[in-house]
Each structure stands twice: as C-alpha cells, then as structure tokens.
C-alpha cells in the first residue's frame, strides 16, 4: 500500500465492484458508469476513509461537510446526462471535487463554486494533483458565475430551500438544472429546464444533502 494513493490494483477492483452495485441500484447510463470506472474516488476522501472510499457511503471531508454517496452522484449525473449530453456545466458545492471530476470525465467544460475556503483548497489540490481541468471559484454559489453564464447545465450538490432564482437565469435556453429542494431533513430531486423565459419541472426521489447556505439558500452558518 503506497501511503498516498493506496494500492491501485486493489482500488481498481473496489471501483469495479462499486460500479456493479450502482447497476444493481438502477444506474444504467453507460457514459455515467464509464465515468465512475475512471474517476479515483479514493483520491477525493480523507486518508482515514480511503479504505472505504468505494463503499456506497457519504464520508466526512471536514468543516461538517461530506462527499456525496456514489449512488447520489450517479443519480444526479444521469439526470443531467440524459437531458444535457454536452456543453458547459456549473456545479454549486465543490466539496471533495469528486462530482466535478465525474463531470469532467463525461466531457463537460466544468465550473464549480465552493463557499468554505478550507474545502475549496483541498478540492483544488485533489483536482490539480490528478491534472483534472476544472475552473474553480471560492464564494457563494447561489449567486452563480455571471461572467461565464449561460450554462447548459447547473448541478447543485447541497440542499436548496427553494428554487435558486439567480442560478435559473444563468441557464442557457434549453439548459437544465438538477437540484435537491426541500427542508433540512430531506429534499426532492428536481430537474428544471429553461425554455425561453419559462421553466419546466420534473420531480424525482427524496435525498438528504448538507444545506446550501448563502444569499439564495439557507441563512449562513459559521464555516
Ligand atoms: N459535490 C460535492 C458534494 C459536497 S457537499 C462532492 O462531490 O463531494 C456540499 C458542499 O456544498 C459543501 O462543501 C458545502 O460547503 C458547499 N456549499 C454549501 N452552500 C454553498 C454555496 N452557497 N456556495 C458554494 N458551495 C456551497
């Protein structure tokens, strides 16, 4: 076992097992499954979680935040890929950087925003060390990235109390947002497509995310 990366062969086997499990859970999109075969989740978790990196679990990444469970990332990514197969995607809530790496592996041009400086830096190191080209910004993601808008896709990986208006207006015409909306205990996965100045909604399963905090999210908590 090399201290930094773990045993690569062993990790590759565990990664294949994770992908088989995702298939059993109903993730069928071959592009999404390929991305999960490619991205090394063990390089996005803390050292203590590394032996369990391919379990279908959310793990702490510090500052009270978590890397999302693989199933959740695969589910959200499938919703995006099936409606918006390519283009420019903005992620809100960089966290570990894993979701951003999955989006990059799928061929999107990826932009991601994180509000906690320590997490922003950690994710930056994980992505840079692996040469994954993701544009990153530190700040309140509910305000979006106006200089880079419009986006073909926006993925929000934290729990929104309501539809984030500013972000919706940074979608391209035909663009799609994937966002969990609800209270702090559970949220309904929601897909919103922009059609001109109208927004069409689809509703999916319930999930439990850490809160989206910011001007158009929950009131700020000290980070
Ligand atoms: N996509 C991440 C999931 C991380 S958890 C991954 O693959 O690991 C959600 C993250 O959203 C946390 O790091 C939290 O700090 C961040 N977050 C919460 N509110 C935010 C906001 N308004 N802007 C940017 N990031 C936010």
Measured by CA distance, the residue closest to atom 10 of ligand 1 is 93
* Separation of CA 202 and ligand 1 centre (Å): 23
Determine the distance separating the centroid of ligand 1 and the alpha carbon of 14, expressed in angstroms: 26
Cα–Cα distances (Å) from 102 to 94, 128, 145, 178, 184, in that order, read: 12, 14, 20, 15, 26
User: 98 in a domain, yes or no?
Assistant: yes
Q: Give the domain extent around 202.
A: 59-207
Q: Is 119 in the pocket of ligand 1 (CB under 6 A)?
A: yes
- End-to-end alpha-carbon separation of the chain, Å? 34
Q: What is the pLDDT of residues 176-202, one digit of tens each?
A: 999 999 999 999 999 999 999 999 999
Residue 10, domain member (yes or no): no
- Does 179 reside within a domain? yes
pLDDT tens-digit readout, 122-153: 999 999 999 999 999 999 999 999 999 999 99
CA 214, CA 223: separation in Å to the nearest integer?
A: 12
- Ligand 1 pocket test: which of 158, 184, 210, 215 has the largest number of ligand atoms within 8 Å of its C-beta? 158
| Cα 98 to Cα 61: distance, rounded to the nearest angstrom | 11
pLDDT of residue 9: 87
Ligand 1 centroid to Cα of residue 65, in Å, is 8
Residue 67: its pLDDT value, please?
94
Q: Report the domain count for the chain.
A: 1
Confidence at residue 105, expressed as pLDDT on a 0 to 100 scale: 98
For residue 201, the domain's CATH number is 3.40.50.150
Residue 6: what pLDDT?
54
E strand segments, the chain:
59-62, 65-67, 88-92, 109-114, 135-138, 151-156, 171-182, 187-195, 198-207
Ligand 1 touching residue 67 (CB < 6 A): yes
170 CB within 6 A, ligand 1: no
* Confidence (pTM): 0.96
221 vs 42, more confident: 42
Asked whether residue 84 is domain-assigned, the answer is yes
The reply to whether 190 falls in a domain is yes
Query: Does residue 95 belong to any structural domain of this protein?
Result: yes
**Tokens 């990986």, residue located:** 157
> Does 68 participate in catalysis according to the annotation?
yes
53 within a domain of the structure (yes/no):
no
Q: Is residue 51 part of a domain?
A: no
Looking at residue 38, what is its pLDDT? 97
pLDDT (0 to 100) of residue 83: 98
Residues 6+ apart with CB under 8 A from 182: 159, 161, 188, 206
What pLDDT, on a 0 to 100 scale, did the predictor assign at position 1? Answer: 38
């Amino acid at each position: 076992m090399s201290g930094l990366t773990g045993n690569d062969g062993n990790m590759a086997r565990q990664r294949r097992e994770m992908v088989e499990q995702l298939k059993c859970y109903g993730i069928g999109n071959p592009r999404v499954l390929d991305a999960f075969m490619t991205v090394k989740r063990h390089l996005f978790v803390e050292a203590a979680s590394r032996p369990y990196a391919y379990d279908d679990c959310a793990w702490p990444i510090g500052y009270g935040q978590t890397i999302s469970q693989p199933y959740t990332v695969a589910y959200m990514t499938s919703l995006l890929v099936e409606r918006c197969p390519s283009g420019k995607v903005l992620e809100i809530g960089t966290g570990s950087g894993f979701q951003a790496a999955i989006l990059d592996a799928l061929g999107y041009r990826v932009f991601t925003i994180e509000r906690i400086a320590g997490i922003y830096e950690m994710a930056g190191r994980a992505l840079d060390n692996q040469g994954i080209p993701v544009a990153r910004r530190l700040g309140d993601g509910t305000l979006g990235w106006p200089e880079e808008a419009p986006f073909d896709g926006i993925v929000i990986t934290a729990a929104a109390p309501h539809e984030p208006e500013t972000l919706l207006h940074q979608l391209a015409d035909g663009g799609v947002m994937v966002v969990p909306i609800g209270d702090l205990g559970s949220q309904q996965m929601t897909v919103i497509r922009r059609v001109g100045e109208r927004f069409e909604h689809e509703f999916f399963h319930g999930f439990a995310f850490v809160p989206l905090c910011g001007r158009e999210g929950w009131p700020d908590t000290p980070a």
